[in-house]
Amino acid sequence: MKRINLLFTGQELDENILEELPVHFYVSVLPFIKTELLANKHLIEQLNFIIESETQVIVTSNIAAKWITMYAANVPNWKIACMTGKTQDVFVTNEWKNLIVLTDQKSEMLAENIEKVFSKSQKVYFITGDRHLNIIPLYLSKKGFDIETIITYHTKDVEQNMEVNYDGIIFLSPSAVKSFFKQHKISIEIPLFAIGETTAAALKKIVFNPIITSPKPTQKILFHTIQQFFK
């Protein structure tokens, strides 16, 4: 069989992904971004202050979810709206599952559902990173919600050289998309694989390549989609 060379631009490849791939698939892992968690005293005190009350919280990245569960002094009495996939998995793994009241894999749909479920009489905390998309906070602000954004990590570009001609390139976030295309130009024929709709939308703004989106925002489903594409 023809060798399939894939470039994975995310920070971390899930366990067992490589073992489950057919032998003619080769994956190069070259992270085009890195994230740095913030751990200053004021920020952690702010988190533990809002933990003491019944709070409405939105989380759209697994990095922010990890930060919350890492620095929370105890399990809060929150209502959490979050993205499906890894973000939701972090809360479930840390036994915060019962706090989740809303999930979706699309920011637009999550925002619309938050409008129906969250109360406008109570502040909503959007816990995220410095390169977050403004889809949800802008939508809710226009609908009359009081939104406070808490930045818990910074995302930085990573310079990477490409020495191989790849048959496909895999993206997990809009930040990785921007970092990659700041550094490289590619043939319009190379298929690009996105883990979700938000990442696919970021690609569509930059390139005209074929874009294949995973039906669910997990690496396992994404790589299954890639295998089906190359059959």
* pLDDT at position 164: 82
* pLDDT at position 28: 95
* pLDDT at position 84: 92
* pLDDT at position 91: 97
Determine the 3-state secondary structure of 137 from DSSP: helix
User: Is residue 185 pLDDT above 90, yes or no?
Assistant: yes
pLDDT band at 1 (very low <50, low <70, confident <90, very high): confident
Work out the end-to-end distance of the chain between its first and last CA atoms, rounded to an integer number of angstroms.
11
Determine the 3-state secondary structure of 100 from DSSP: strand
| DSSP code string of 50-96 | HTTS-EEEEE--HHHHHHHHHH-SS---EEEEEETTHHHHHHHHTT-
Once rounded to an integer, what is the mean pLDDT over residues 183-191?
96
CA distance 221 to 19: 15
Domains assigned to the chain: 4-32+158-229 (3.40.50.10090), 36-155 (3.40.50.10090)
Q: What is the pLDDT of residues 115-164, one digit of tens each?
A: 999 999 999 999 999 999 899 999 999 999 999 999 999 999 999 998 88
* pLDDT at position 183: 96
* pLDDT at position 82: 97
pTM across the whole model: 0.89
